[in-house]
Structure 1
Amino acid sequence: MEVLARILTSFASTCVDVLPIVTVMFAFQLGVLKQGIPNWPKVVLGFVYVIIGLSLFLVGLEMALFPLGETMAKQLTAPDFIDTSGGVLADQLDWADYYWVYLFAAAIGFSTTIAEPALLAVAIKANQVSAGAISVTGLRISVAIGAAIGIALGCYRIVVGDPIHYYIIAAYVVVIIQTSRAPKMIIPLAYDSGGVTTSTVTVPLVAALGLGLASSVEGRSPLIDGFGLIAFACLFPIISVMTYAQISQWLSRRRKQEEQGDSQCASS
């Protein structure tokens, strides 16, 4: 009964949330464009599917992903897990003692980003538009590596308690420098890649990890220190995608130079 009540509550709130979207779309279609709704039974059925799917997804977040992420963060930061001898108090732990947290953050950042359907869709479209110049697998892996590094670094920030703006400002300086040097065709895609990492799979686990970690580390506030991991997950994929493009460009230029050198040697 409790689960059913949650589902019904989530269904009602989802209907309220989706209503403005439906209103705007139908108002423009009927009022501005003055066109009928093509295949309106399928459209209505699709909206029903969307509402049901979102409702079940939100219930799943509340029942599984958020509690699991917070539980794992607390278990990984427990002093009896970090110190096998059991003789170290929580306030005596050093940042290096939380290496399992950093490893878990990087692993969960990489795996959830690879599983993001939004990233897969962007990678496929980029591959199609670029006529195969941008690899689907290469783009997904580069974005996932950036998310893994960003989330691990964000967990380090929570552990040591540094202000978040130092990291964000430094990262944006790197982004600005890379933007002036990276291949022009990859820059918009790199900025979009940072946004698609924060979608349905990544956000719940990463947010739960940050809140659980801030709740477990001595002297940290879940409100002040627990949030901010999503910013790292958005920002560092921009750096990694432009780095991937720059490395690919350098390798391509070097390959051409080697081919030209071989051809000159053969001609001489």
Structure 2
Amino acid sequence: MSDIFDQLKEVVMAILPLAVVIIILQYTLIGLPPDLFFRFIAGVVMVGLGLFLFLVGVHIGLLPIGELIGSTLPKTNKIWLILSVGFVLGVVVTIAEPDVRVLASQIDDVSGGEIPNLVLVYSVALGVGFFVMTAMARTVFNIPLKWLLAGGYSIVGLLALFTPATFIPISFDAGGVTTGPMTVPFILALGVGVASVLRGKSSTSDGFGLVALASIGPILAVMVLGVIYG
């Protein structure tokens, strides 16, 4: 029960400052129409309730199952299975990420439908899946994280030379939205679970850095779309 109250407190402290600032601006500078302002208040309440329920669900469901999957996979002693499951989970959890959907719909509107919504979502998901698989390989083979990050961002820099300028900011935004409330808890728990078995409980920090790698995938995926559609 105390965990639920902690989640409620966390949500209130996250949303309250924004609500207070908007209310102050409403009565000092902005002066929104009353119906729009009341819709904002109603929206804040609904967002707070939804975020609270989401965080409770993450802590009682997503985190435990992610860590359980991560700790079970290495016991099979099948590297191909660890990598394959990492790829599949990276893809499906990104497709479920609400931030990715929001970005895709906005880009679809701005581009006038040139970049279809689903094309962007699935491209980003495949990019995340590939780099989650790479992160699993990093844990299995004990590859230094710095070399993977250096190599990944070197490819990003090289591909940027051939990508239309309008796609470059979109690609980095795509890398940002994948680090959302659905993807991060599950992927981190998966990485920590794998590392806890392969490296021991004292080295579970090897499971971190996975999100940093996963965010490279969407950048590359959108840049490739830019080369194709540009």
1:181 counterpart residue number: 162
What are the residue-to-residue correspondences of 1:1-268 with 2, within 5 Å? 2=1, 5-31=2-28, 33-36=29-32, 38-39=34-35, 40-78=37-75, 81-82=76-77, 97-218=78-199, 221-223=203-205, 225-249=206-230
Distance 2:33 2:176 in 1: 31
Structure possessing the higher radius of gyration over alpha carbons: 1
Output the amino acid matched with 2:183: T
- CA distance change for structure 1 residues 36 and 242 in 2, over 3 Å: closer, same or farther? closer
Paired residues of 2:25 and 2:31 also in contact (CA < 8 A): no
Q: Distance in 1 between matches of 2:143 and 2:33?
A: 53
Report the residue type matching 1:227 in the other structure: F
TM-score after normalising by structure 2? 0.91
CA contact (8 A) 2:73 2:82 kept: yes
CA RMSD, Structure 1 to Structure 2 (Å): 1.9
Cα distance change on mapping 1:43 and 1:158 into 2, 3 Å: same
The answer on whether the counterparts of 2:104 and 2:121 sit within 8 Å (CA) in structure 1 is: yes
Question: Contact 1:190–1:241 (CA<8 Å) still a contact in 2?
Answer: yes
Deviation at 1:139, TM superposition (A): 1.1
Cα deviations by residue, 1:196-217 (Å, 9 ceiling, x for unpaired): 1111221111011011111111
Structure 1: stretches of 5+ with no match in the other structure: 83-96, 250-268
SS in 2 for 1:133: coil
Change (3 A) 1:37 1:222: farther
More contact order relative to length (CA 8 Å, sep ≥ 6): 2
Per-residue CA distance 1:110-147 (angstroms, 9 max, x = gap)? 11111222212211221221122112121111111110
